[in-house]
Amino acid sequence: MRHQPSIKMIFWALSALIVFAGASSAQVLNHNEVEFTATVNSILDNGNDTGVIKADASGTELTVLVDAKTDIESEEIEIALTDLRSGDVIKVEGKFSSEGVLASSIEKLTSDADNGFEVRGQITDIEVDGSVVISIAGITVTADKAMQTSGRPSTRVNVASLTVGTAVSIEGTISGDTWTATSVHVFSDKGKKKNVVRFEGTIVEPFTEGLIYVQVEGTDTDQPVIVGPETKTCGTLAVGAVVEVKGKLNAELQVEADVVCVIGALEIKPDDLKLKVGATEVMNVKLRETASGPVTVNLTVEPAGVITLSASSVTVPQGSKTAEFSVTAGGNPGEATITATVNGETATALVVVGEFSNSDNENPNAAARIVFAPDHIKMGAGDTRDVVLLVQPPQVRPVNVKLEIRGDLASAEIHRDLSDDGAAVYKVTVKSKADAGAKSGSVIATLPDVSGSGTAELVVVITSKGK
């Protein structure tokens, strides 16, 4: 018979919250940040200023992950991970992940006078007695019952009226083993899906009656996951398989899965990358298990010429799971597939090269944003294809869309507005040149009358097969 897993342990398993925005992208919810002061217990140095810190935050041991992007400082001077020692007091800022706190910055303090904290996430348990005890991010925080919350909606409520699942930011102080709240901010739920989670773990019981149990590393509980008729599955859901789960947490603390996919022993991150012509980006190979010794991963590219790699192989060092390599785009739009191989395992990643990067279209303050869906296609010489062009949010009246074709394309035309709610969705018909051969081109879309709206690009690869 299965016992109900503890709420504290479930939170650690499900701490990577996600929210979907728009019709073509997913974004990480920014309400799972944390800031705290703690004492270093131990340090695992993986080299190149990456590793793992075990830190004691007043009786709560937290795992702090350090990667190449983590800023480490002492008295405003940059230091290395190897400069930290057991017993040092550090201030950590970062985000929760399924493996711990991924640190964006670590500051070595000269004293432990800074005993404040800020933690963000969903409430996983709340008890009201003489005071209010809130469980969040594996931490227990005490608050006064009369304390008023801030946030939207603008109506203030007592902390005691909050419920499990509410997304909050709590600030306070630490004294001994007690974390005491000085303020509680409630995040607005408008436009977000509630209780949406994503995590990784290992299947520990056979798949029966629409239910599997997933063990998440670092916890002593098995998370129940409901796999229903609408759940998308990838790979064979067998005991021992490592899976990524995306879904919603219900009132019984089961995850109603939208997606359950088996994770291979080898991955390339990111597995889908858009690069600007001539630009260079860093990618990673990732092993599912920590390397017990140096592991060499071979890298190849097909077709040649679209991108170049910094090396034909990379080595994952002992005690680590990842190794970096750089990718440089060529001088023309196109797409290429990177294949990584090790010990019979393979992983692939698609790299699309265009004349504009994704950041050229990222202006959250713009009155409208424009994107192609999909943003890259293949077609034959002389072929015609239809794609969708999205203007977000839907506009009250039609907007002026300018299209420009480059490379081996003959034309690109907007035929009609597909939306019933303003000028939000258009159909664009693209035609390639009859004598194009195996080349490429792109369609550039802009909103000349909307300031800061960015640039959308459809990258077209022209092949002999057209697929």
Q: Are 142 and 178 in contact (CB under 8 A)?
A: yes
pLDDT of residue 188: 59
For residues 104 and 127, state if they share a domain: no
Helix (H, G, I), strand (E, B) or coil at 159: helix
Q: For 230, phi and psi rounded to 5 degrees?
A: -95, -5
pLDDT of residue 191: 40
For position 123, which CATH number holds? 2.40.50
pLDDT of residue 31: 39
Helix (H, G, I), strand (E, B) or coil at 361: helix
* pTM exceeding the 0.75 threshold for the entire prediction: no
For position 55, which CATH number holds? 2.40.50.140
Residue 465 pLDDT class (50, 70, 90 cuts): low
Q: Are 334 and 440 in contact (CB under 8 A)?
A: yes
For position 226, which CATH number holds? 2.40.50.320
Q: Is the pLDDT higher at 286 or at 109?
A: 286
Q: Is the pLDDT higher at 414 or at 456?
A: 456
Residue 139 inside a domain? The answer is: yes
Domain boundary among the residues 59, 83, 114 is at: 114
Residue 27 inside a domain? The answer is: no
Residue 359 inside a domain? The answer is: no
For residues 136 and 173, state if they share a domain: yes
Q: Which residues contact 287 (CB under 8 A, 6 or more apart)?
A: 265, 266, 295, 316, 321, 322, 342
For residues 108 and 132, state if they share a domain: no
Domain boundary among the residues 308, 333, 354 is at: 354
| DSSP state letter for 389 | E
Q: Is the pLDDT higher at 139 or at 423?
A: 139
Domain boundary among the residues 166, 186, 206 is at: 186
Residues 109, 120: Cα–Cα separation, whole Å: 23
Short-list 34, 109, 119, 126, CA closest to 73: 109
pLDDT of residue 444: 92
Partner residues linked to 187 by β-bridges: none
Q: In what order do the strands lie in the sheet containing 266-269?
A: 266-269, 280-287, 322-329, 307-309
pLDDT of residue 339: 96
| pLDDT > 50? residue 10 | no
| pLDDT > 90? residue 325 | yes
For residues 278 and 349, state if they share a domain: yes
Of all residues in the chain, the percent with pLDDT exceeding 70 is 79
Domain span at 71: 33-114
The tally of domains found in the chain comes to 5
Q: Which spans in 21-95 are helix H?
A: none
For residues 258 and 288, state if they share a domain: no
For residues 74 and 40, state if they share a domain: yes
